[in-house]
Structure formats: structure tokens, C-alpha cells
Structure 1
Amino acid sequence: MTETKYHFIGIGGAGMSVVAQLFVERGWQLSGSDQADSANLSRLKQLGVECWVGTQPQKITPEMTIVYSSAIRPSNPEFAAGKAAGCRFMHRSQALALAAADRKFVAVAGAHGKTTTSGMIAQTFSQLGADPSFAVGGVVTHYQTGAHLGTGEYFIAEADESDGSFLNYRPQLAIITNIEADHLDNYGSSEQFARAFFDFAHCIEPGGTLILCTDDPGCRTLLKQLRPQGDLDESCSPKIRILGYGLQAPPAGLDDFCLVKPLLAEPNSVSAQFNRGQETTTVSLPMPGEHNLLNAAAVFLAARIAGFSATETAGALAEFEGTARRFETKGEVGGVRVIDDYAHHPTEVAALMRQSREAAGKGRVLVVFQPHLYSRTKNFASRFAAALDLADRAVVCDIYGAREDPLPGVTSRIITDKMQRGSYVADKDEAARLIANEAHGSDLILTVGAGDITKATTVVLAVLKQRFSQ
């Protein structure tokens, strides 16, 4: 196996780069290419990986195994060269499973919250001395990377549902944070999207555990499908334990449950009581947002299953440093805080607006939003408009198409035309300058989206520095 040479097409992507890093740490040979230079590419080069920008099909040789993601099209010259050369092909999810082959696999799935929850498990288990391996689609601040090959028995992975590839995993422990329709360009309907999570539950190894957020309607529906009579008869469900967590009372059919009772919400922290049977534990997080308490409850249950005590788990959660682009502070000038966030689904954007309102205090919430994917913009335009109208002011720039070609008539205007407090500015840097010039002390500025909008924080901070230095 170690003599095989792997070639990653699109190696700079968030999901691909972490798998590539794990391959490096395993000592396996690999090379990679991407369409643009990036920090991920630079990091891999520093690790000794031969990487190049653009395509070089002449470098593809028959003994290579081509690693690709669903974003790579068959027309890609290196992909086509691999087919012509008779190379073996391996999807990114299969490569990740290979990297995790000798560890206890923990898979974190869900339409929202995967990165934060998987990063939170990684750091919590690390703080508890477990030294887990992990592959997260974002930088875990504690490690300053999204991938790590640890010495411990656990492998924690963010399980991507976008293309159904999470069905390639066979976890011993799985978490589903929520099931809300997305990626309809792939699934075609919300029913098929939900069906994928039902299939995912059946991928869990017999004797394993599924942890669900039972506040979520999609997770409650899944629980009823797995245990239709609300009982614990194994004939009604996969031969697994099913645990739940939430702010609301538990539904029938669970083997265990963690009830979250919020205590205190402040601009930079939140706390709650976690009630599990006769066990009551106070948990505090150094970040705002009720949704983060729910993420922490999933991690709390995972840690308890792994054998860690409630007290030491709470202590580790209190040290969580977050993940990049998840309510990440990029700077503060003249009392104006600049936050960057990856939210790209209307539910995520609405949760972010509520979190930002808590953090802003008496200040205003000002937003620069970049929609991600034409299909998602088309499907959820009205919901994006409603979510963004929770801010005091929002500017929406052009859609970041990523893997998609433009759709006729689908522009960011189909969002702003439905908004009360929004406007359309095509260029993200111009939008950033506009918002930065409107801000005053105690306001909170957010750059939001899954594309390259994060680069606009540099523009925002530059304008603020110029304004407040005068």
C-alpha cells in the first residue's frame, strides 16, 4: 500500500487538503494539482508534497491512484489522462476512510454545524488526553490545521452529505446535528435528501451509537423511521444505540438523552445545565449562541460514551477555541468588530444573525453576504432574504458559483428584491467598502458565505483603519 503513489486533483480544496495532509502523515507518496494557488497549497508544499497550479496531464502515469472529489468533472485534463492511462480512481471519501482504517471512526453529519461539532470533538478529546486523529473541513484553531494524525484510537471526521459520499463510511459512532434539505441539485427532492441520512444511519457498525439532535424535525422523523413503535426492539432499527440531545423534552425511542437548559448568554460566552438522567453538569462555552450549546451537548454525549467523566468533559469544553470562519473575529477598529463566518444556508444565516445580535449588544449588525451556488440561491432566495433582514443592514454581492455553471435568471438580485433592509452590490470588495464606511463604534460587521468572501475582511479592516485614524 505504501508504494502506491496518489495524485489529488483539486488538492487545495477544504476537504481534499485535509485528506492529503493525513496521507503525508501516514508516509504515503502523493502529488496534487489545483486551479488556483492557496494557503492550503502552500501548506502542503511545506510538507514536501509536489503541487502545481493548473493541469499537467503529462505527469499522470498508470501506477497512480487518482483521488478526486465530486467537484471534479470528467473533462478535467488530468482526470481524462488518468482514465486513458488505466489508473485506479478513489473518491475523496474513500481516501479518508483509507486514512482512518485502523481507528475508531467518529462521523459528524448534518446540514449545519458539522465543522464546529467535529472540531469541538477533536479539541475536547485532545484536552482529555486522547490525541485523536481528525479530518475537518475547516481549521481547528487549537491545532491551526484541519487534519491531524494522532496516536490515539479515535478518528473524527466531518461527513459530507452534499454528494452522498458519507455513505462510504462505516463509523462506530455517528452524530447527526440536523436534517434540513440542501444540495437539491444532487438529490432532486427533500425526501431523497432525508433518505440519505436514513441510509447513513444504517452504515453505523453493529453495536455502534447514533447521536441525534431531537429538537430538529428531520432528526425526529429519522428516529421514528428507525424505531417506528417508539420502543427499543432491535428488529425495528439498526442494531445500534440511539442517543438524543436538545432543549425540548425527548421523544420516545431513545436509549439515553441529554436535556440542555440554558443558564446565561453573554456577548462572548454561553452556559447551560446538561441533564442526563440523574447526572447534572454545568457547561460553559467561550462563545455566544444557543446552537453552540447544542453542538456541545453532542460532544458531551460522545465523550461520555468514550468513557470520560462529565466533570472533565465540561472542563475541556470550556477551553474550546473554535474553528476558522465560524464566527471568527478578524479584528477590531474604533470599537467596530469584524467577524467572518462560513454560513451559506438560510438556517445558518438566521442563526448567525441571532448570535450576532447577542454579541453586538447595543451596536448594529451590518452584513456583507456572498451567496454560494446558483441552485441554492434559486431554491432558498426567499428564506435568505428573511434571514438577512434580521440584520440592521445587509449588502449582497454576486453569487460564488463554485462547481456550478450559471443558471438563467438566477442572480443575487432574487434575494435583495425580497428584502426590506438589503441592497445588491456586485463586487464583494465594493460591498465591503460600502458597509465599512457606514459603521460606527460598537457596530458588528460580518462577512458571510462559503466562497471567497473571507478575503473582503481585509478590505473592511483597511477602510476602518483609514476612517478612524483621521
Structure 2
Amino acid sequence: MKQQKMEKKLKKMRAHFVGIGGIGMSALALLAKDLGWEVYGSNIDRNEIVKEISKKGIKVFIGHSSNNWMDPDVVVVSSAVPKDNPELFKATISNVEIIERLRFFSRLAKDFKVLSVTGTDGKTTTTAMLGHIVQESGYDPTIILGGIHPIFKNYKKGNGKYMVAEIDESDGKFADFSSYASIITNVRYDHLNNYGGRIERYLEHFRNFIMNTSEIMVYNLDDMCEISRKLFNEFRGKLVTFGINSQNADYTAINIFMEKSKSFFDLVAYGSFVGRITVPIPGIHNVYNALSAIALSMELGMEIDAIQQAMKTYKSVDRRFSIRFKDNRKQVYVLDDYAHTPMEIKYTVDTVRKVFEGKKLVAIFQPHRYSRLAMENGRFSYSLLKADEVIITKVYSAYEEEIPGVSAREVHEKLHELGKKTWYVENFDELERKLEAFEKRNTVFLFLGAGDISMFATNWVKKLSPQHK
């Protein structure tokens, strides 16, 4: 009996990840592996992430089947996994715990001081900036990111006390996640379909997230309406605000200046000038992102010299104003950006206008999710107005069922009403034919969306004729 107890105690815990090829699930799987778990999983296809984690010793079954089974102690899932997945059925009949990914993440993160970043827009960039600052300040953090960074990808193993983590707010599971300190970038009522369409329920989840942060809460004073500000009334830690337009914010940016692909501003903290900040990516939205990351870093006691140097050397996450192609002679540029909410799109279009002043701007937008389009239609059209010409593609469903009466054509039709030159295309073949008709001179082609429009952009630039390269 003692021998059996000893063997059980020494046995490594084993986790089965359903959909391990996702950006968040793969990072969590790598973290679990580094913390001593045996990790394996399944994925619908062998994507680039699966190829990478396979190289790191994680077994991945391609396709979903009850045969993908290695007697795990837990099965980890995300909200994207359908209830009828055969691996979930296998776990149920085998009496194996099924755990949602953020709850499993909480278990893994219990020995870290977790610095969380959540909110509607800007989470990934802010997390990457914060992680880089903490790294350059000498703390060697573990980093969990919802995007691909050019250096540490979506996961970095650290040996320090801090974990910098992007926390997805889309399905409400974030409400129970515990953090040492947190940033809320903004609150813009996205994914309301996952909250029963009720704003009060959506805000209640944010309130719970706030209450599960123990020490420091950093939030965007410019973004907060009167209702949103009430979320912080019961918080017992230190509240820290940042903003550009709010004069009474604790941290603010003044004398903002943008030149080519960089942003510059003077940092003011609690009414006193601190230093000049250089951000090597353009856009007022990235000033906000930098400001929030800097605010939390300073509250944690990090030195301004290290922060300034970290910001100067920051490298952008993939699909955040990524230039896929450029021909300086003919002044032709192809940009790929993850922007998929109205405010993100507006910021990105405004930034392109400033960086590529005088160039014709052709925006190609793929709406992401029928539920978002149903909630946001109208606002998308206005966010694209500063483009010269706009191509709208069919909705990328992200596994959602089509909603009757909801179509990307509505964005196209509204743009047409507003006097914008616009087209709607039903598929990528049609999109490619439409793009071929444009003159490849003095033009920026901006691809926008969180779906497979990025893959199209990558393939399209490969097909550009040699004289355009």
C-alpha cells in the first residue's frame, strides 16, 4: 500500500488539450510542460503552431477522436470546443476531469505574481510591451501571449517571480482569474452574445475580474463611462489610471508626435514630467498601449531608464501593422493587421493615413463572426470611411452558425450610401480578380480582420508580378 501511494505521489500529472493548436491553448500547454506536466493534445489540422510545439516534444493527434487517448488526469478545453467532441465524451465516461483553459491556467499560475492584461482592444500589444519592459528591467518573467511575437512567439519561460499574461475576456471565463496586478485596456461591449446580450452581465464579469486582482488595477480613464467607472468602487487595492484626454489621469502622454513608423510622447506621472518615450510602432492606440504598460511597470518599482530603453527596442507582434510587401520605387505597400472591431479598424486606418500620407488607401476588410457583425453593423462602415476604396469580403464565421439576415453585404451597402467607392466579394477567387484590376502604384493595400484574410494577403503578395517587387 505504501509503495502504491509513493508511486502515485511521484507520478507526473498528464493533461490532454483539445484544440492544442490554438494560440492560447498552445501557450498553456507549453507552460504546463515546463512546470512538469506530461502534455499531449489534438487539433483539427497540422497548423504552424502544431508543428512548433511538436518540435518541443508535445505529441499532437490530428483530428478529433475518442482514440486520441493517453489516460490523462485532466482534459483541458476552450469555449471553441463543441460539446459533442468525441474526446469530451471519452473523458466523461472515463470519469476524467474536464476543465476550462483559464481555470487550468489559474492552477498553473498559483505560484507566480501574475500581471494580467484584459479588455476589448489592445490586449496582445499591451501584454507584449509589458512583458518586454519587465524582461529588460531584469525580472525574467514568464510570458503568455495571444499573438506571435518575433522573439518569444506566444510563450516565454522565465525564472522570475512575475508572469505577464494576456487574459481573454470574450467568453466570460476571465471573471474568476486571480491576478497580482492587472491592466484593463478598454471596455467596449464586444462578444455580448456570450453574455446573453446583456450589458449589465458583461460588466458584472469585469467587476468580478477586478475583485480577483489583489494589489494594483490599471485602467483607461479616457475609455470609462460613468457606468464602467462604478466597477472599481469596491476594489481594495491601488487604483491607477492612464489616459491622454483625461487631465486627472495618474499617467498621461503629452506632446504626442508621430514620424514615419514611430510614436513619441512625454510621460507625465502624478502631475510631474518623467521622461520622453519612443514607441517604435505608429498610432495613437499604441500610445495608449504603451502608457498602460509603463504605468503598471512604474507602480511595480521599475526604473524609468530601463522602461525607456525597453520601449525603444520593442518589437511588434505579428499582424499588428505588419508590412508584408513594399516597393519603394513604385510606392506600393501591402499591410496586414488583426484589427476586427470598429475602434481598432478606425485607429488602424487613421494610422495608415498618417504614415503613408498622400498614398491611395485600399482597405480589404473581412468581418469576423456573425454575432459581432449583428451587434456592430453601421459602426464598421464609419470606421472605414477614411479609406479611398473598400473591399468587403464574406464573414469569417470562426465556427459560429450563420445568423439569418446578417451579412457583410450590409457593410458594403452602408459604405455605398455614404458615398464611398466599395465592392463586396463572396470568396477569395473573386477578391484576387478584383485586386488584379488595381494599378500597383502609389497605393497602400490594407488587409483587416482576425480570420483567414491574413493567409490570403500572405499568398497574394507572393503572386505579385516581378516588376512590382
Could you state the TM-score of these two structures normalised by the residue count of structure 1? 0.92
1:387-440 CA-to-partner distances (Å, cap 9, x unmatched) read 122211111111111131111122211211111232111113532452354143
**C-alpha distance 431-103 of structure 1, shift in aligned 2 (>3 A):** same
Give the distance between the partners of 2:155 and 2:408, measured in 1 at CA. Answer: 34
Give 1:326's aligned amino acid.
R
Give the distance between the partners of 1:261 and 1:279, measured in 2 at CA. Answer: 10
Name the counterpart of 1:242.
239
Name the counterpart of 2:224.
217
| SS of alignment partner, residue 251 of structure 2 | strand
Name the counterpart of 1:129.
138
Give 2:374's aligned amino acid.
K
Give the distance between the partners of 1:152 and 1:307, measured in 2 at CA. Answer: 15
Is the Cα–Cα contact under 8 Å of residues 440 and 468 in structure 2 kept in the other structure?
Answer: no
Name the counterpart of 1:91.
100
Equivalent residues, number = 452
Q: Which of 325, 331, 343 pairs up with 1:335?
A: 331
Is the Cα–Cα contact under 8 Å of residues 203 and 231 in structure 2 kept in the other structure?
Answer: no
Is the Cα–Cα contact under 8 Å of residues 368 and 432 in structure 1 kept in the other structure?
Answer: no
Give the distance between the partners of 1:132 and 1:294, measured in 2 at CA. Answer: 22
Give the distance between the partners of 1:21 and 1:442, measured in 2 at CA. Answer: 44
Give the distance between the partners of 2:282 and 2:72, measured in 1 at CA. Answer: 50
The runs of 5 or more residues in structure 2 that have no matched partner are 1-8
Name the counterpart of 2:422.
422
**C-alpha distance 354-345 of structure 1, shift in aligned 2 (>3 A):** same
1:435-461 CA-to-partner distances (Å, cap 9, x unmatched) read 354143342211111111111123331
| Structure 1 residue 62 displacement after superposition | 5.1
| SS of alignment partner, residue 112 of structure 1 | coil
Name the counterpart of 1:264.
257
1:273-422 alignment runs, 5 A limit: 273-277=266-270, 278-333=272-327, 334-419=330-415, 420-422=420-422
Give the distance between the partners of 1:224 and 1:165, measured in 2 at CA. Answer: 21
**C-alpha distance 196-87 of structure 1, shift in aligned 2 (>3 A):** same
**C-alpha distance 181-432 of structure 1, shift in aligned 2 (>3 A):** farther
Name the counterpart of 2:5.
none
Give 1:464's aligned amino acid.
L
The runs of 5 or more residues in structure 1 that have no matched partner are 228-236
Give the distance between the partners of 1:214 and 1:336, measured in 2 at CA. Answer: 38
Give 2:90's aligned amino acid.
A
Give the distance between the partners of 1:428 and 1:448, measured in 2 at CA. Answer: 14
Give the distance between the partners of 1:311 and 1:47, measured in 2 at CA. Answer: 36
Give the distance between the partners of 2:357 and 2:94, measured in 1 at CA. Answer: 60
Give the distance between the partners of 1:164 and 1:214, measured in 2 at CA. Answer: 23
**C-alpha distance 465-126 of structure 1, shift in aligned 2 (>3 A):** farther
1:303-334 CA-to-partner distances (Å, cap 9, x unmatched) read 11221112221121111101111111222134
1:438 aligns with 2:438: yes
Give the distance between the partners of 2:458 and 2:72, measured in 1 at CA. Answer: 44
Is the Cα–Cα contact under 8 Å of residues 370 and 428 in structure 1 kept in the other structure?
Answer: no
Give 1:107's aligned amino acid.
S
1:235-277 CA-to-partner distances (Å, cap 9, x unmatched) read xx221110011112345xxxx7012113311220110111113
Give the distance between the partners of 1:433 and 1:297, measured in 2 at CA. Answer: 42
Is the Cα–Cα contact under 8 Å of residues 436 and 460 in structure 1 kept in the other structure?
Answer: no
Give the distance between the partners of 2:30 and 2:388, measured in 1 at CA. Answer: 41
Name the counterpart of 1:179.
187
**C-alpha distance 35-282 of structure 1, shift in aligned 2 (>3 A):** same
Give 1:401's aligned amino acid.
S
Is the Cα–Cα contact under 8 Å of residues 396 and 431 in structure 1 kept in the other structure?
Answer: no
Give the distance between the partners of 1:342 and 1:409, measured in 2 at CA. Answer: 26
| Structure 1 residue 191 displacement after superposition | 2.7
Give 1:223's aligned amino acid.
R
Is the Cα–Cα contact under 8 Å of residues 177 and 295 in structure 1 kept in the other structure?
Answer: yes
Name the counterpart of 1:201.
210
Give 2:228's aligned amino acid.
L
Is the Cα–Cα contact under 8 Å of residues 123 and 142 in structure 1 kept in the other structure?
Answer: no
Q: Which of 150, 161, 167 pairs up with 1:153?
A: 161
| Structure 1 residue 368 displacement after superposition | 1.5
| Structure 1 residue 172 displacement after superposition | 0.9
Deviates more, 1:173-182 or 1:331-340: 331-340
Is the Cα–Cα contact under 8 Å of residues 433 and 460 in structure 1 kept in the other structure?
Answer: no
Q: Could you say what the CA RMSD is over the residues aligned between the two structures, in angstroms? A: 1.8
Give the distance between the partners of 1:212 and 1:223, measured in 2 at CA. Answer: 9
Give the distance between the partners of 1:245 and 1:362, measured in 2 at CA. Answer: 33
| SS of alignment partner, residue 250 of structure 2 | strand
**C-alpha distance 27-63 of structure 1, shift in aligned 2 (>3 A):** closer
| SS of alignment partner, residue 422 of structure 1 | strand
1:450-469 alignment runs, 5 A limit: 450-466=450-466, 468=468
| SS of alignment partner, residue 352 of structure 1 | helix
Give the distance between the partners of 1:279 and 1:288, measured in 2 at CA. Answer: 22
Give the distance between the partners of 1:439 and 1:112, measured in 2 at CA. Answer: 33
Is the Cα–Cα contact under 8 Å of residues 171 and 194 in structure 2 kept in the other structure?
Answer: yes
Name the counterpart of 2:3.
none
Name the counterpart of 1:69.
78
Give the distance between the partners of 1:315 and 1:433, measured in 2 at CA. Answer: 46
| SS of alignment partner, residue 348 of structure 2 | helix
Give 1:380's aligned amino acid.
E
Give 1:405's aligned amino acid.
E
Is the Cα–Cα contact under 8 Å of residues 106 and 154 in structure 1 kept in the other structure?
Answer: yes
